[in-house]
Amino acid sequence: MQSWLEIRQDCDFSIHNLPYGIFSYRGKKPRPGIAIGEFIIDLKQAHKKGLFEGIKIPDKVFKKTSLNSYIALGQKVHRAVRQRLQEQLQTDNSLLARHRDKLLIPIEEATLHLPVQIGDYTDFYSSLEHATNVGKMIRGQDNALMPNWKYLPVAYHGRASSIVVSGVPIRRPMGQSRPNDQEPPIFGPSRFVDFELEVAFVIGRPTQLGEQVPVTKAEEYIFGLLLFNDWSARDLQKWEYVPLGPFAGKNFASSVSPWIVTLEALEPFRTVGPIQDPPPLPYLQTQGKRTFDLHLEVSILPKGAAEETVVCRSNFKYLYWNMAQQLAHHTANGCNIRIGDLMASGTISGPTPDSLGSMLELAWNGTKPLPMSDGTTRIAVNDYDTVIMRGYCQKDGIRVGFGELETLLLPTG
């Protein structure tokens, strides 16, 4: 597909992508938009101009400050909107082309907001490499994986209220830790703030309490994906996690990218995941290409540094448990899901030293400091460091990307 709009070949927001977000511009109320090249298609104004004539979309949907109402219209409407916009972008005398001055908003002049109203958030633990690495540090080589890990997608429920969009700074958390095992715990700022490279999917179709989502139908309940940084305070987490798991070491903040990439846009990049041995129980068994060849990258930009340092290059396809299995297990007990709920993958680590998705692994629990571009080193994220995550799929000249997820870590307030 060729567009009349000039789009760089390395741009994440190609005509093959068309991701959804929420933006505001020149003091106006936040509203839904779609990214294309260096612009945002203002869906409210596009609808007003008649761009979606024949597609059943209530006027109020594009006036909302979140995508939840639009997502609720269902996949048939989403596909029709995508097809209509691709047609409009390929025809140089189209309605969109003729009204481009009013319908295309420069991304650099817009403010991007949290794209969905998040009711609940679940964080999985689905990377075999990550789970093994962390297990080695805590329990040793012989007991790295817990007995249940290869039988079910391990997860915990997180805090949705502290999820923020890219560009919103977070603060180093306070909490209890126990630096000396022979002494009582202390209270103070975390000394080991870490990023976690993850990808989250957005629920696009609700269920009722008691209803199960079959693994074969699970992708019908997924609207799209975004980048996810599940911040961790490792010292707080280490002290508190027994016996009930993560709490204050995790719930202080998580960050998401502003653009949701649809499964339809990711379709050309499907691939197979790792071989699962032993085979999952029947309710978790999937066939074929159930994951995506999605390249992921993490950089750290120290305060005042001229360049960022790439510390991680990983891939979504490394995950042992795929999204369909995660959602099937999540609902196997009848737990209901709602539009806008987030399901995060857990840290995505790969088989090579540079593909590890957290500082805990990259610096191997503080024993292997990472060099930065400014000559300093890191075993954790420092105050005033900016952590930048990127993700994209690329194949046969087609690029579909997620943009950037950028977060500044501030000192304890």
pLDDT in tens, 123-160: 999 999 999 999 999 899 888 999 999 999 999 999 99
| Nearest of 276, 279, 318 to residue 296 by alpha carbon | 318
Average pLDDT in the 366-391 region? 98
Whether this prediction's pTM lies above 0.95 is answered by yes
Cite the DSSP H helix spans in 332-396.
359-362
> Are 169 and 151 found together in one domain?
yes
Is 2 a member of any domain?
no
Q: Catalytic site residue 130?
A: yes
Task: Give the whole-angstrom CA distance, residue 323 versus residue 320.
Answer: 10
For residue 86, report the phi and psi dihedrals to the nearest 5 degrees.
-65, -40
Q: Would you give the DSSP letter of residue 380?
A: S
Which CATH number does the domain housing residue 33 bear?
2.30.30.230
66 and 86 fall within a common domain: yes
User: Do both 307 and 249 map to the same domain?
Assistant: yes
Q: Do residue 65 and residue 137 come from a single domain?
A: no
pLDDT at 51: 98
5 belongs to a structural domain: no
Beta carbons of 269 and 292 less than 8 angstroms apart:
yes
Tell which of 113, 147, 182 closes a domain. 113
61 part of a folded domain? yes
Residues 131 and 103 in one domain: no
Residue 372: pLDDT above 90?
yes
pLDDT number for residue 260: 99
Q: How many CA atoms lie within 13 A of 45 on its CB side?
A: 20
Compute the distance between CA of residue 249 and CA of residue 2 in angstroms, rounded to an integer.
Answer: 48
pLDDT band of 211, cuts 50, 70, 90: very high
Same domain, 105 and 137: no
Strand partners, 383: none
Which candidate in 47, 78, 130, 330 is catalytic?
A: 130
Angle at 296 between CA 339 and CA 372, to 5 degrees: 125
Same domain, 290 and 365: yes
Q: Which of 68, 96, 113 is the last residue of a domain?
A: 113
* Residue where a domain stops, chosen among 50, 78, 113: 113
Among candidate residues 197, 168, 196, the one with its CA nearest the CA of residue 406: 168
3 in a structural domain = no
Domain containing residue 93:
20-113
User: What pLDDT digit, counting tens, does each position of 18-31 carry?
Assistant: 999 999 999 999 99
For residues 171 and 370, what is the distance between their CA atoms, to the nearest angstrom? Answer: 22
Residue 313 in domain: yes
Q: What is the mean pLDDT of residues 94-113?
A: 98
3-state secondary structure of 87: helix
Residue 6 identity (one-letter amino acid): E
53, 47 contact by CB (below 8 A): no
Size (the chain), residues? 413
Do 295 and 158 have their domain in common?
yes
Please state, as a whole number, how many other Cβ atoms lie within 10 Å of the Cβ of residue 87: 12
Query: Per residue in 220-262, pLDDT tens?
Result: 999 999 999 999 999 999 999 999 999 999 999 999 999 999 9
Helix (H, G, I), strand (E, B) or coil at 309: strand
Helix (H, G, I), strand (E, B) or coil at 50: coil
Quote the pLDDT of residue 335.
98
Within this chain, do residues 75 and 183 fall inside the same structural domain, yes or no? no
139 and 174 assigned to the same domain: yes
Q: Hunting for tokens 């189209």 — which residue is that?
A: 94
Q: pLDDT of 311-370, one tens digit each? A: 999 999 999 999 999 999 999 999 999 999 999 999 999 999 999 999 999 999 999 999
Judge whether 295 and 391 are in contact, CB under 8 Å. Answer: yes
Dmax (CA) for the chain in angstroms is 75
Q: Quote the pLDDT of residue 413.
A: 82
pLDDT given at position 135: 94
Question: Which pair of structure tokens corresponds to residue 260?
Answer: 């949701």
Q: What CATH code is carried by the domain that includes residue 136?
A: 3.90.850.10
Give percent of the chain with pLDDT exceeding 70: 100
* Contact call for residues 345 and 389 (beta carbons, < 8 A): no
Model pLDDT for residues 48-73, shown as the tens digit of each residue: 999 999 999 999 999 999 999 999 99
Shortest CA distance to 323 belongs to which of 223, 234, 411, 250? Answer: 223
Task: Say if residue 142 is in the same domain as residue 255.
Answer: yes
Number of domains in the chain: 2
